Amino acid sequence: MKRWSWTALVAAGCLVGCGIGGGLPGGDVPAMTNPDGTVTLPDIPAGTGQEGDPSTPETSASLWPLTRGSTWTYRITDPFKGVFEKRVEILGEETIPETTMTGIAVRSVQPTKEEMSWQVERNGTVLRLREEDRKQGKLEQVTTWSPATIKSLSKEQPQGWSYTSDIRELTRTPADNSTEDKDKSYIWSVTAVNQTVTTPAGTFTNALRVERKRGDKNKPEDDRVYWLVPGIGKVKEDGERLEELVAYDVKKP
């Protein structure tokens, strides 16, 4: 593993003061953070969207735009919770709580839940470093990863591309100060290109079909299938529940 760090560009106090970020009580440095305050990032090998790689199709449009102000609305069909909508918004670059690094803050709002995650783009992938879950404004759960976990692809890959992501996942619950520490392995693969996908937001003819499966155990409930469109992002997701794009407004870089 190679360790990377960024200079903090935004004061962490602003993040906490705005009611968006903030760590758990106590102020202890979490085990998932290196002594210098950085988070380990995975060594993404050649062939995963790096510029100049002949095996990677060239595209100027991201499969997972992280431009500040971009928004997406999804219709979610959940077998237990019914049908509702989720709105995702890119807030921009911010200091990641409990680290010395910066990442792109992404807010996801559902009727009974709000998620904040901090993501970075690297070598054709989007990595997620931290996620905070809130209900009625109260911090309920914080999840961190070492190395940072893959969230999506940001650049197109050929059909048959595959990458195995081995991570350690730490989940902390502030209410009782409990933690859950797990080792997980995910296999990401491109199973189809130029697929046609119809959603409430329209029909897309150039979608990349990406699958995520558990590599360490047989857990079909953890399997996910994503349809990603250049310049738009995720238009459909299937697995634990069905997510379909209803509306989007992607800002130019």
Domains of the chain in start order, with CATH, are: 12-249 (2.40.360)
The predicted structure's pLDDT at residue 29? 53
Span 165-214, pLDDT tens digits: 999 999 999 999 999 999 999 999 999 999 999 999 999 999 999 999 99
Span 211-253, pLDDT tens digits: 999 999 888 888 999 999 999 999 999 999 999 999 999 999 8
Span 30-40, pLDDT tens digits: 668 999 999 99
- Beta carbons within 8 Å of 131's beta carbon, 6+ residues apart: 115, 116, 117, 118, 142, 143, 144
Q: Cα separation of 190 and 42, whole Å?
A: 19
Q: How many helices (H) and strands (E) does the chain have?
A: 1, 12
- Beta carbons within 8 Å of 105's beta carbon, 6+ residues apart: 15, 20, 21, 90, 91, 92, 93, 94, 116, 117, 118
